């Protein structure tokens, strides 16, 4: 027999059912014991009466968060005792048998509240308890529904989901890499991917044509409320695409997603505005302005795309130009301009060319970014050189990509969207830690697992590493 969920007990009026779950709360009214039983779908009231002596005596020992199994009859509650706040508020279970599956210590905090009154460090130390609260379960459930909607939508658009490696090569793409020492190749290291950027471009070379992935990404950078050392993004790439093809795909995806999953929210403007980067900076002094007409209304969604970014920016400390987005971003060509001419124009003044780059913004947050990619190996090599890389270093770090581009690569482009940040905004939370099951603290620590932690000397020796005190 399949398990019966609490939300489904309404279908079994006047019948006997078996239920499993946690003791949510307890009330004693005279000699009658009332227990609220909780599972992932809801709460139902259990009734224990003294006439069932053995069951009653065991029920008298029950405390919050004990895990139990019960069997009993589903009865209609008296009209004066109904609870409109519960989906099962019109029924109660007259318990005939009770089994305690596990007892529980008193939790270090109340899991029945929304948790916002509790210090975050304590919540993260006991995250498995924190996740029992209704708000956290709702956030994770809605996150699941959002990702499922995206998967289904893109699958219908002929995209194929492909997993790419999480042990890869360290390459200069912006943020600092997390590195993993190789045991078999002494002195050599893998890197955890900052994004699947090169792999998804190689999938275009492979002829996959339309790819997406719910991708795990890792960046060793300072954390904040909307950033973590590891995060999840929707990563997609498509060949023979223009910038407008990609923006239209994303705005239609989100229009449908909001209408299906968040009907209470209103999109301020559709199609989403395309805003010029230079004009946005001049007007708002930020490239991710909050465009809501009423910023006190959390159900108002002001989506927009920011376009026409500069290709390069000057790094004063390093005395060199660097890519605004990443080195694979395709510059804008003038009408009739060929590869040789665009290279000469960029070299003449790297500050002038614009990029086929776009950011996706929502309510004052950047929630995604992408570009049309360079698919000509000679242009990509020239871009690396303009960023200060020596030819030998270019081929050492990116030779695999330059070689692949010699075998018939289609024009292609893509975008990556931060799913943690998007879910945070949709759920009206102030931190992405509220929509991630097991997040790190602001300084990158896992308080529950006590990580990062030291490893023993045997492991260090196997990895050919020594710790400098």
Terminal C-alpha separation, the chain:
60
The pLDDT assigned to 394 comes to 87
Q: What is d(CA 350, CA 310) in angstroms, rounded to the nearest whole number?
A: 9
Model confidence at 224, pLDDT cuts 50, 70, 90, reads low
Q: Which domains does the chain have, with CATH numbers?
A: 6-102 (2.40.50.140), 129-457 (3.30.930.10)
Q: What is d(CA 34, CA 27) in angstroms, rounded to the nearest whole number?
A: 5
Q: Is 449 helix (H, G, I), strand (E, B) or coil?
A: coil
Percent of the chain with pLDDT over 70: 98
The pLDDT assigned to 396 comes to 87
Q: Is 353 helix (H, G, I), strand (E, B) or coil?
A: coil
Question: Would you call 101 exposed, middle or buried from its count of C-beta atoms within 10 A (0-12, 13-18, 19+)?
Answer: exposed
The secondary structure of residue 184, as a DSSP letter, is S
The pLDDT assigned to 42 comes to 95
* pLDDT tens per residue across span 371-391: 999 999 999 999 988 888 888
Least Cα distance to 380 among 399, 361, 357, 354 occurs for 399
* pLDDT tens per residue across span 331-360: 999 999 999 999 999 999 988 999 999 999
Burial annotation 19-40 (CB, 10 A radius, 16+ → b, else e): bbbbbbebeeeeeebbbbbbbe
Q: What is d(CA 352, CA 372) in angstroms, rounded to the nearest whole number?
A: 18
* pLDDT tens per residue across span 6-23: 999 999 999 999 999 999
Q: Which has the higher per-residue pLDDT, 189 or 223? A: 189
Model confidence at 226, pLDDT cuts 50, 70, 90, reads low
Q: What is d(CA 441, CA 423) in angstroms, rounded to the nearest whole number?
A: 18
pTM value surpassing 0.85? yes
Model confidence at 223, pLDDT cuts 50, 70, 90, reads low
């Amino acid at each position: 027999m399949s398990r019966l969920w609490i939300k489904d007990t309404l279908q079994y009026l006047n019948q006997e059912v078996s239920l499993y779950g946690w003791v949510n709360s307890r009330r004693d009214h005279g000699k009658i014991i009332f227990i609220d039983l909780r599972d992932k779908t809801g709460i139902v009231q259990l009734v224990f009466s003294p006439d069932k002596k053995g069951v009653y005596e065991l029920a008298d020992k029950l405390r919050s968060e004990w895990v139990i199994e019960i069997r009993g009859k589903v009865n209609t509650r008296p009209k004066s005792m109904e609870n409109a706040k519960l989906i099962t508020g019109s029924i109660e279970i007259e318990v005939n048998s009770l089994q305690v599956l596990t007892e529980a210590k008193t939790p270090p905090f109340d899991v029945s509240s929304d948790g916002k009154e509790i210090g975050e460090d304590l919540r993260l130390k006991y995250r498995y308890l924190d996740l029992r609260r209704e708000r956290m379960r709702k956030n994770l459930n809605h996150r699941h529904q959002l990702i499922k909607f995206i998967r289904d939508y893109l699958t219908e658009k002929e995209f194929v989901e492909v997993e790419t490696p999480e042990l890869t090569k360290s390459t200069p793409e912006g943020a600092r890499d997390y590195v993993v020492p190789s045991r078999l190749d002494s002195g050599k290291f893998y890197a955890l991917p900052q994004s699947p950027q090169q792999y998804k471009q190689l999938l275009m070379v492979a002829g996959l044509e339309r790819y997406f992935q719910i991708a795990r990404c890792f960046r060793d950078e300072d954390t904040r409320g909307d950033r973590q050392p590891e995060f999840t993004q929707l990563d997609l790439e498509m060949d023979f695409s223009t910038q407008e093809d990609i923006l239209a795909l994303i705005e239609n995806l989100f229009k449908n997603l909001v209408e299906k999953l968040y009907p209470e929210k209103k999109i301020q403007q559709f199609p989403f505005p395309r805003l010029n980067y230079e004009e946005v900076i001049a007007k708002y002094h930020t490239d991710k302005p909050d465009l809501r007409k009423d910023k006190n209304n959390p159900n108002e969604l002001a989506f927009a795309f920011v376009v026409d970014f500069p290709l390069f920016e000057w790094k004063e400390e390093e005395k060199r130009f660097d890519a605004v987005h990443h080195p694979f971003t395709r510059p804008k060509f003038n009408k009739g301009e060929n590869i040789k001419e665009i290279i000469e124009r960029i070299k003449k003044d790297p500050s002038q060319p614009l990029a086929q780059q776009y950011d996706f913004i929502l309510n004052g947050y950047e929630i995604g970014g992408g570009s049309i990619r360079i698919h000509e190996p000679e242009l990509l090599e020239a871009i690396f050189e303009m960023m200060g890389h020596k030819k030998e270093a270019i081929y050492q770090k990116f030779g695999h990509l330059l070689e692949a581009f010699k075998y018939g690569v289609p024009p292609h482009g893509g975008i990556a969207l931060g799913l943690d940040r998007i879910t945070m905004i949709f759920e009206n939370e102030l931190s992405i830690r509220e929509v991630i099951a097991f997040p790190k603290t602001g300084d990158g620590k896992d308080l529950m697992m006590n990580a990062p932690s030291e490893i023993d000397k045997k492991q260090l020796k196997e990895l050919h590493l020594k710790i400098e005190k």
